[in-house]
Each structure stands twice: as C-alpha cells, then as structure tokens.
Structure 1
Amino acid sequence: MTEPCDLSAVDLRALIGAKKLSPVELVESCLKRIAAVNGTVNAFVALDEEGALARARDLEAEITQGRDPGPLAGLPVGIKDLVNVKGLRTTYGSLLFKDHVPDADDGQITRLRQAGAIILGKTNTPEFGSGANTTNRVYGATTNPFDPARTPGGSSGGSAAALACSMVPLAQGSDTGGSLRAPATWSGVVGFRPRPGAVANERRMLPLTYFSVQGPMGRSVADTALLYAAQAGSAHPGDPMGIPFDASGFAALRPADLGNLRVAFSEDLGTAPVDDGIKRVFRQRAGKIRDAFAHARDDQPDITGVREAFWVLRCVYYMAYHKDRVENHRDLLSPNIITNTEAGYTMSLADVAAAEVAWRQWYDRFQAFMEDVDLLILPGNAYPPYRLDTGAPTEINGRPMENYMDASLIRSALTLTGNPVIAVPCGLDETGAPFGFQIAGKRHGEKELLEAALAIETILNADAETARPIPDLEKLT
C-alpha cells in the first residue's frame, strides 16, 4: 500500500489543502520511513521530531480554521547540513563544528517556514560541501539507495538519498561543480541549479561568484519547481547577488510544447572525460526523445581552457573559505579541504587573472552557442556511481584524472556559464545505477527550462526503460 510519504509534493499539498490528509499524518509517515531505512542509507543526520510534529499540529489547526498557511503548507523538507537552522545541530560536516547549534535561521529557512514548510531535519554532506561523495568524519558516509556499497554522489547526497527513499517529499541543496546535479543523477531524482543569486545566501564569503548556488531537489520536476517557488526571489541584503523577483509562478508550470524547441545534444562537450558506457546509454536515451523537438542536432560549444580556469577559480574559492582553517586546524580537516586549499598556494595573481579572462571567454562562447538553441542536453554524470571503498575513479577510458574535479568537467563547465541547469532521471545505466540527463537552458530562462524539463520528464516516465527508477526499500531495512 502506498504510504503518504511516497506521494508527490504537489499531490500532498493538494490533499492537505483539501483536508484529506493531515500534516501530522504526513510527518509521522516520513519519520516511519526514516526509521526503517536511514540506518542503511544515512541520509538524515539530525532530526527535529518534536518540533516537526508540533509545527504539523499548528498547521493542521490553521487549515481546519480555513486559513492558507502557504504554498508548502504541511510539507516536510530536508535541509542540507550546510544551512543554519535555529536550535538544530548544524555541523557543515566538519569536526570543527561538531557541536554547533545555531541561534538563528538562515534567510532561506525563514522563507521556507513562511511558505508553510516543516523543517524535518538535516541531510548529510561532505565537509563544507567539498566532494563528489557524501562522507565526513562527524556522521560517516551516506550510501546510494540503489546499492549501499556505492556513493549517492555529493555534495547534496544526503538530500538526494532521502528523496529517493521517500523520507521527505522535498529537500534543499547547493551546487558548486555539480552538487545538486550529480547526486540527483546517481539517486534517480531531480536537482535544479538556478541562476546565481536566485536563492539568496547571506553567508556567502565571496560577494560575486557563480560558484555555490542554493537550489531545490524533488522526485519530479513539478515538485522541484514547487520548492523553488518558495526559495527564490528574495533579495536578502546580506547577499550582494540576491535577485528580487516574483517566483510564485514556478509553482504552477505547464509543460512546454517540445515541437517548438531547438535542442543540441552532446555526450561529452567535445573533450570532457566521460565513461564510454555512459556515452552509449546517453546516445540510446537521447534517441528516444530526439524526434519530439522541432530541431535536434549533435553539437557543443568549445570548452578550451575551461578545466584550467575552473580549477584556479575553485582554489581562490577554497582559500577564501578555508585558508585559516587549514593553517590552524589541519588535524580536524578532511584531506579534500586541505588539498584543494593548498593547491592555491602554488598559484599567482597572473594565474587568477588568466582564469578570469578564460572564464569570460567561455561565458561569451556559451551564450553565443545558446542563441541558436533553446536547450543543451548532456549526461548527468561522467561515470557511474563509484564504490565507497575505492573512491572516485583515477582514470576514465584509460585517461588519467589529475583529481576528482577532472571527472566533473561535464558539470563544472556549466557552473561557469551562470545558466540554469536541471538534472532529470532517465532510467538505469549499464551497471544498474540511476542514469539521468543534464539540461541547460538560456540565461535567466528558468521558467522555460523547467517547463521543457516537465515535458521531457513526461515522455521519459511513459517508457519503462527511461522512467524514474525507484530503489528496493526492502533491501535497505
């Protein structure tokens, strides 16, 4: 029998609004699912059971009295453990903050509460969100719901795994080099990287950067858009990039007419490392939707210099955030934080200037490319999810990877464009793990991208081979 926690966020909101489902029943259903499978998956690392149930009772009373508490009324949400939630242990996945309990909500949590959401708890992340996995020294590793020996990806892997197991209908995440898109792909859910500044983040250290953005995750495009409608559009004064706009329309999208769209497909952006098996699956799955568009071609912009620019700019980012920590608390930090930060010591201002110029050149090339197409469709990840006991691949198709970021170029190149990108599930790959598409839209074209993704998702879900995969929960209990 279908449990309330297995229903879509859109359907749950309708049932709650019609008084056919109590928010208390939904929270209890989510907690029951967490109790059943979280011991294996380790997606949730801190829960506010009493607070969530109390909030659910309050919302139920408001709805009973005929009031509308907001677009997310009664919906439990998982929050990545990089975001401050008042009174709830928030570690950022680091031993430096293992006992940290914030005394105030971050702005995006305030917005979710104002929309009627129930903050159920914190989802796991690698230390300070750094890594293509979701493992840290505070809580350990999050596992992939489709194969607990493998990673769900990172750094929003806790949120992705929680969604895949229906622990919550909605979850929050963030994305630097693919941290919403990668775990969404490997967990069979949806992750949306919006334009920088769309979801304000007043705790950003660097005032102007395309790197880390906040965004929504869900089990469907419509669910993800529902959460985005509540997250986005608030120009918090603490975020220099915060964009004020009315995001409410994202809660009621209509599928695009794909017959009016021009699309480019690329299996590897020309030269990005991508596993041959992933390429084969991508070509086969792309063939299933290609005829739905007005025009489709195999093409990509030139990514010359993007890998090098991203690495330098990433090191600037790490030095800004972690230089003092590495110098003063090295023994408490993960090797990933140390390595990424110390790489910056070898770089000069000339290197940074060259990277900034290369970034601008790539931005111009990408925008010019997108003038002629509405969507660019790529694989969601460069390789299948790896085993936790072996770590990220050191080579792809025999080509050595200098570091784990080398294998992320299929995602990180899109980070530097500033364009919105969504990860949509598309069945399983040749290893039996979830496979998915990355779909990039035009600059500032979130609505058009989400509506196109909604239409593509409809086609994919109508085919058993490409429908969103669902993990076998009995194997996780």
Structure 2
Amino acid sequence: MASDQKLVHATACAVIDKLNAGEVTPLDLLDALEQRIAEVDDKVNALPILCFDRARDRAKALMKKPIGKRGLLAGMPIPIKDLTNVEGVLTTQGSPIYKDNVPARSDIVVEQLEHHGGLIYAKSNTPEFGAGANTFNEVFGATLNPWDLSRSAAGSSGGAAVALATGMAWLAHGTDMGGSLRNPASFCGIVGMRPSIGRVAHSPAAKIDRNLGVHGPMARNVEDLALLLDAMSGEHPADPLSLPLLPASFLSAARSGNKPKRIAYSPDLGITPVDPEVAAITRKAAARFAEAGVIVEEAHPDLREAHECFHVLRAFDFAISKAALLRTKRDQLKPEVIWNIEEGLKLTVEQLERAEAQRVTMSTRTLEFFKTYDLLLAPATIVPPFPIRDRYVAECAGTKFDNYVEWLGIVYAITLVCCPAMSLPCGFTASGLPVGLQVVAPPRGEAQLLAGANVLEDILGLRGTTPIDPRIEPIPHK
C-alpha cells in the first residue's frame, strides 16, 4: 500500500511521533516492514532471520498499555545483529556450529530495548563471529551493498546497515570491535556509532570485563541514532562496566545546536594508507565545518602503536572466547577465525604486557589531544565499497597489508583509545558509492559528538539520501 511506502521513508523520530499521537500502531509498522522486506531483501540478503509472529505478539501486549506508557520506542520495530541472543529466535553468529541455535534468554541489550517498547522482528546478517569487515558466512551467504549489488556492505554489522539503507528498518542494533558499526555505515550511506565502553550494557561472555567490543546504534540520520542510543543506554548489575544514565537525553544533545569551537581533521591518523578519492571527499566535508564558524586544522594524536597493540589484544580476545571451538569444531571455522584464535594462543605474557601498556600510552596522548580539539575527523573507511568477491582489502594506495584486519586501522585505533565515534555520510565517489566521515569525541563524550555531527549533517545536506531501492550499478556523481 502507498501508506506503507510513506512510512518506510519516514525518519524514526517522525514514526515515533506518529505512534505517540495514535496515527499509526506498532502493527502497522510491522506490516509495512514485512511488505518492504518481501520486495527487496531477496536482492541484498540483509535480514535472513525473521520473527514477525513474536513481534506481533509483543506488539499486541504493548498496545494494551495506554499511548504514552509504551516506552521511549513506543512500539518501534528493531532488528538485532545475529551475534546477539534473542529469546526463542534462531541466533547463528554466522557460524555452521550454531546454525540451529535457539537461545532460551535474550542478551541484556535486547531486554533493554524491549523494556523501552522496541519490537524485535528480525536478525541481521553478520560475518562468522563478526570476524572480518565483509558480511558473508556459510549459513546465509553474503549481504550485498544496495548502492551497487556487486559490492561489499562491509561488516560486521553489514546486514543492519543494508536494512536501514533499503528501508527494511528505521533503527538497527549492531556491535563494534574494529569498526563494525562504522565501516558498514560508511559503505551503505547511513549513520553508525560506537559508544564509549559501558554506555550500552550487554551480557558478559568469556570474560567479565572484555571491552574491545561494544554494542551500539545505527540509523539513517544523527537524531534517529541519538534516539536509539537513549533506548540502549543505562547500567545493569550483570555488566560491571556499564554506566548510569546521564541527566539529559542524547536526543536533546543532538538537537542542542551546540557546535565545536575547534576540530581536527586527519586523512590517515598517521598510521594507514588511504584511497586518494576517499581522502579528498572526507577532507572537503570536514572543511565545511568552517561554515558554522568552527576552526578546522589538520592534526591527530600519536597512535603509532595501534597496529601492534590491536593485533595482540584482538588475538587474545579471540583466544579466550573461541579457543574451545578451535579444539572441538575446527573443521567448521573459517580460515580467518582459525588464524585469529591461533595467534591468540601463541601470545606470551610479555606481549600482552606490552600491548596493554601501549593502549594506556595512546589513550593518555589522545586525552591530551582533546584538550586542544573538541572533535577529531577522519575517513571512516580507507576505501570505497570493494567487490563482494574479495574477502577483505588486501592493499590500498600501493601498500599491501600483512593480514585481513590491518586495513581497518583507522577505526580500530579509535577503539583502542576508548573514544565514542560515528560514521557520518559525507559524500559519494565519482562512481556513486557512499563515503563516510569518522567523527570522534573524547571518552564518554557522546553528547558533544552527537551535537557536532548533527551540525555538520545540516551543512552537508545529505540527510534523507536513504532509503533506496537496491541498484545493479551506482548512479555516477560528478
């Protein structure tokens, strides 16, 4: 129906306003999404697991409450990344090992979203165990980039990003260790944010204080993303790193109009090659902050140890979380996951000591950097969307990488220094592929990050570029 398509194109904030005004019901939204998924998902493979019956049952229960008492999300449907447990719903982690796994309990982050009136209607596709920034796995296959179906959607929250870009979601959940909320947002022309450690509570697994990976929001624009972050945030006793709610909402921060006084732009953070076209597009976008009276300078903190540090800490994380699978299910693991686990099992205490010290040193330098600059801007990815047939980016601007994650240095360096960061759509390549600008704030600085990003989003004028119908080829931009 025409009304369904109008809903699909509305912003999440506008849809929630309609819910709270009684103009639409949660069931209307589910109907609109189910129709949209039927029309486009066979082309992109973003949402391989659907649970509309569960969502409708919960919608009917929610609708027994008066309008205004249905929570912050008020019946807004949300897909959950297939790394994260949803009670009674197939949760595979993209692995043949878990192809029949139906958890008995949801992750804390899912419980939090449902507490706020969110309706879980789908699981979004992800690489096996979220490893590698290209969304394909042996269970469901590859997720394709809707701007050009021959291209990667990046990862590991690739299914979530594509669902947003094609109108199969208004808001989406994702996770991020080495850019998994930021890379797919960049490749798909939407907004993805890695919050500070502890901002979003989640169920601990393998280690009580793992902090490289976090859960976070994805949306089509900054205000919608802020709204979802409000619904995801808050402390929980089961997550000892979780932070209490702040007095003011993130949506109010995004809408505050507060702008930074001085920002820094770096094309490479001093640690990585970058595609020249990506560097040019992101530099031009960052420079437009000057239109709001913001001082723009080229600078970055000293992050020289990022590659060695992340390689060690990521490998350690894979070892503690996946070593048992290597011992018992090795034949069902993809080569990159096996390599990561084995790298972790070979580590010495001295290597871990060095990596942890490097992280502390880089974090200290970064905090000092933010005494001068309010925000740091850089490319969110160092290349435009690459061919889906390539498992990962093997080289960039004439530099070959040593392993399948090194091309992600521009995002994982920010992970290491504990900063919140988002990918904001900032332009298109000449061939019509999206490019994302990484916007970084000091630790726990989500409010200033959202405010500044919203100011720049206004200046760039790209809000409303999505959703799109999947395309065989991109539309060239001049």
* TM-score (ref. length: structure 2): 0.94
Q: Is 1:380 the counterpart of 2:380 in the alignment?
A: yes
Partner residue, 2:185:
184
Distance 1:259 1:216 in 2: 22
Q: Provide the C-alpha distance between the structure 2 equivalents of 1:260 and 1:88, rounded to a whole number of angstroms.
A: 43
Residues 144, 151 of structure 1: 8 Å contact kept: yes
- Aligned 1:329-344 pairs, distance under 5 A: 329-344=329-344
What residue is the counterpart of 1:110 in the other structure? 111
CA distance in 1, matches of 2:156, 2:183: 8
Residue equivalent to 2:132 = 131
Preserved contact between residue 78 and residue 170 of structure 2 (Cα < 8 Å): yes
Deviation >6 Å, runs of 4+: none
Superposition pairs of residues 31-110 of structure 1, within 5 angstroms: 31-63=34-66, 66-110=67-111
In structure 2, the residue matched to 1:228 is 229
Residue 442 of structure 1 aligns with an amino acid whose one-letter code is P
Higher mean C-alpha deviation, range 277-286 or range 114-123: 277-286
Contact 2:44 2:146 in 1 (8 A): yes
Cα shift at 1:43: 0.6
Judge which range, 324-333 or 384-393, deviates more: 384-393
CA–CA distance in structure 1, aligned partners of residues 319 and 197 of structure 2: 21
Aligned residue number for residue 151 of structure 2: 150
2:427 corresponding residue in structure 1: 427
Report how far residue 468 of structure 1 moved: 5.5
Distance 1:281 1:84 in 2: 38
**Cα pair distance change 1:278/1:95, threshold 3 Å:** same
Aligned with 2:65: secondary structure?
helix
> CA distance change for structure 1 residues 247 and 423 in 2, over 3 Å: closer, same or farther?
farther
For residues 122-153 of structure 1, the C-alpha deviation after alignment (integer angstroms, 9 at most, x for no partner) is 00111111111111111111111111111111
The 3-state SS of whatever aligns with 2:303 is coil
Residue 9 of structure 2 corresponds to residue 13 of structure 1: no
Letter in 1 for 2:460: L
CA distance in 1, matches of 2:268, 2:90: 40
Matches within 5 A, 1:239-318: 239-246=239-246, 249-257=249-257, 260-318=260-318
- The residue identity in structure 1 corresponding to 2:469 is L
C-alpha change, 1:278 and 1:306, in structure 2 (3 Å) is same
One-letter amino acid of the counterpart of residue 195, structure 1: S
Q: Is the 8 A contact 1:177 1:411 kept in 2?
A: yes
Alpha-carbon distance between aligned partners in 2 of 1:87 and 1:108, rounded to the nearest angstrom: 15
Q: Which residue of 2 aligns with 1:3?
A: 6
- Secondary structure of 1:253's partner? helix
Unaligned runs of 5+ in 1: none
Q: Is the 8 A contact 1:274 1:407 kept in 2?
A: no
Partner of 2:475: none
Q: TM-score, normalised by structure 1?
A: 0.94
Please say if residues 278 and 384 of structure 2, whose CA atoms lie closer than 8 Å, have aligned partners that are also in contact: yes
**Offset at residue 19 of structure 1 (A):** 0.9
1:247–1:71: structure 2 CA closer, same or farther, 3 Å change rule? farther
Task: After superposing the two structures, state which structure 1 stretch, 140-149 or 201-210, moved more.
Answer: 201-210
Q: Any idea what SS the aligned residue of 1:44 has?
A: coil
Code of the residue aligned with 2:117 in structure 1: it is G
- Would the aligned equivalents of 2:166 and 2:470 in 1 still touch at CA under 8 Å? no
Flag the 1:258–1:105 CA change in 2: closer, same or farther, 3 A.
closer
Q: CA deviation at 1:251?
A: 3.5
Match of 1:470 in 2: 466
Matched position secondary structure for 2:249: helix
Kindly indicate whether the alpha-carbon contact (under 8 Å) linking 1:75 and 1:117 is maintained by their aligned counterparts in 2.
yes
Kept in 1: contact 2:422–2:438 (CA 8 A): yes
CA distance in 2, matches of 1:404, 1:422: 22
Deviation digits for residues 237-271 of structure 1 (CA, Å, limit 9, x no counterpart):
22221222247612333545465521001111123
Superposed displacement of residue 348, structure 1:
1.8
Offset of residue 394 of structure 1? 1.4
Work out whether residues 190 and 425 of structure 1, in 8 Å CA contact, stay in contact via their aligned partners in 2: yes
Q: Following the alignment from structure 2 to structure 1, what is the Cα–Cα distance between the partners of residues 305 and 79?
A: 37
One-letter code of the match for 2:89? L
Matched, 1:448 2:444: no
Q: Could you tell which deviates more after superposition, 421-430 or 252-261?
A: 252-261
User: What's the RMSD between the two structures over aligned residues?
Assistant: 1.8
